[in-house]
Amino acid sequence: MKIQQEQIQVENQKELASHKESLDFLSNKLAKNNHDVDGIISKLAEFQVAIPSWALGAGGTRFGRFGFYGEPSNLEQKIEDVGLIHSLTQTAGAVSLHIPWDVPEDYKAIKEKADALNIKFDAVNSNTFQDQANAKESYKYGSLSNVKQAVREQAIQHNLDVIKIGDKLGSKALTVWLADGSCFPGQNNFQTAFQNTQNSLIDIYKGLPDDWKMLVEYKPYEPNFYSTVIQDWGASLMLANGCGDKAYTLVDLGHHLPNSNIEQIVSILSLKGKLGGFHFNDSKYGDDDLTAGSIKPYALFLIFNELVYGMKNNPQNPELAWMIDASHNVKDPLEDLIQSLEAIQESYAKAMLVDQNALKAAQLDNDVVKCQEILQGAFRTDVRPLLEKARLNNGGALNPIKAYRSIDVRGQLVGERGKNSVATGL
């Protein structure tokens, strides 16, 4: 299905008066404080976040998976779903594919479909954490780090194949997330595992086209519970440096131990020009993959504060690959992704309200109270009218969730796809 512009306009009419009133109020207030309101709105309108193909169906845990009606069951339908989110939010103009879950059968048709919906192909993700049917070697004891050369070679070749698939679609980045690690002390030699991983990544890197990036994701634990080979940003950074200029660290918010200071990690990677990509989600305990901003919105704002600072002051970084990496066990994924996009945009807008000059002056004065006031002043501002305006300018919905429900998108998808549709992938 496709949402027509007229349908969005009908929904927007219902909200327009109240939107105008709140936007006027906020714009006046911000203008008085010398904020470039139009500049912020156009930056919001430009900001696009990729939707991962695996987030469009129901996720699940090791205890079970509760499907829902109208899940996308093939790549075409997944792209269709991203198109639906994008038409309402105007913020989801890209999809990130997972291989081999999403290998196109007909590249031309898939590209045409994505083009028609204004969807680009963001980073492609390799999968060396599951054994595929007919695979010669098993990843049970690791992939790029495996003690057996034949396993490492299979995993390297898979990544090279993923690059080829992405290249045909117009992707410009490969994301490598490894499940490699150990469950028990003594199982692995840490140094051998790390060195094998470095050498394998270098082999993949050699196959990277000139205009591509390699993004190395880290995660402290799970599925292995004693050690993970690429456990933190330090390990990722060392591996990226060991590969070369086109390799970067990718920060997934859920991949930190509780209370880690993620904004500081972001800041230092940015300083070093090695921040390449970002996976948004939120968590209470670990890699919970919850809606961005649903648990710790202030932390998300502080992270964005560093990102905004970095985008302005650290041109040594590439254009970042933004993506939502979430899983949906109880909510309609499309609604949840819309909520994440809203939270991401909200944090971005608030971060743009931070008066960097005033903050620097207060820091130089060691005026701790003022520093906090500046950050919290921005965080406490209700910036939602700016997001609405950015969407409105681009033809999106003033209130995407309301419009989604009023148009009955899910109901129509169920009608079209039937009640037996079950998502592929995770």
Nearest Cα neighbor of 319 from 233, 211, 181 is 211
CA–CA separation, 257 and 85 (whole Å): 31
The residue number with the shortest CB distance to ligand PSV is 177
Please name which of 70, 74, 85 lies closest in space to residue 117, comparing C-alpha atoms.
85
Number of residues located near Mn ion, criterion CB under 5 A? 3
Residue 325 as a binder of ligand PSV (CB under 6 A): the answer is yes
The distance of closest approach from Cβ of residue 201 to ligand PSV in the complex, given in angstroms and rounded to an integer, is 16
CB of 255 to Mn ion, least distance (A): 7
With binding defined as CB under 6 A, does residue 256 bind ligand PSV?
Answer: no
78 binds ligand PSV (CB under 6 A): no
Q: Does 279 participate in binding Mn ion (rule CB under 5 A)?
A: yes
Question: Which partner, ligand PSV, Mn ion, none, binds residue 328 by CB below 5 to 8 Å per kind?
Answer: none
Cα 79 to Cα 411: distance, rounded to the nearest angstrom: 18
Q: Which residue of 11, 71, 180, 252 would you call a contact of Mn ion, by CB under 5 A?
A: 252
247-252 and 275-280 strand pairing: parallel
CB of 97 to Mn ion, least distance (A): 14
CB atoms within 10 A of CB 131: 12
Q: Minimum CB separation from ligand PSV for residue 217, in Å?
A: 5
| Residue 219 binds ligand PSV, judged by CB under 6 A | yes
Judged by beta carbon, residue 203 or residue 325, the one nearer Mn ion is: 325
Q: Please, what is the minimum distance in Å from the beta carbon of residue 361 to ligand PSV? A: 39
CA distances, 221 to each of 62, 63, 283, 335 (Å): 16, 19, 14, 29
Q: Which is nearer to ligand PSV, 218 or 309 (CB)?
A: 218
Beta carbon nearer to Mn ion, 44 or 251: 251
The residue from 71, 325, 336, 388 that contacts Mn ion (CB under 5 A) is: 325
Cα angle 250-251-257, degrees, rounded to a multiple of 5? 140
CB of 126 to ligand PSV, least distance (A): 8
* Separation between Cα atoms, residue 218 and residue 128, nearest integer Å: 14
Cα–Cα distance for residue pair 351/348, rounded to 1 Å? 5
Q: How near is the Cβ of 290 to ligand PSV at its closest, in Å?
A: 12
**DSSP codes joined into one string, 214-281:** EEEE--SSSS-SSEETT-SHHHHHHHHHHH-TTEEEEEETTSS-TT--HHHHHHHHHHTT-EEEEEE-
Mark 158-187 with x for binding to ligand PSV (rule: CB under 6 A) and - for no binding.
-------------------x----------
Site string for ligand PSV, 116-135 (x = CB under 6 A): ---------x----------
DSSP label at 61? B
Residue from 391, 305, 346, 374 nearest 12 by CA: 391
Across the strands, what pairs with 249?
216, 275
Among 71, 80, 180, 252, binds ligand PSV (CB under 6 A): 252
Please count the other Cβ atoms lying within 10 Å of the Cβ belonging to residue 388.
25
Pairing of strands 50-52, 181-182: unpaired
> Given the complex with ligand PSV, which of 80 and 325 has the nearer CB atom?
325
Q: Cβ of residue 393: shortest distance to Mn ion, in angstroms?
A: 31
Question: Which residues of the shown chain bind Mn ion in the complex (CB under 5 A)?
Answer: 252, 279, 325
Question: Which residues of the shown chain bind ligand PSV in the complex (CB under 6 A)?
Answer: 125, 177, 217, 219, 252, 279, 287, 325
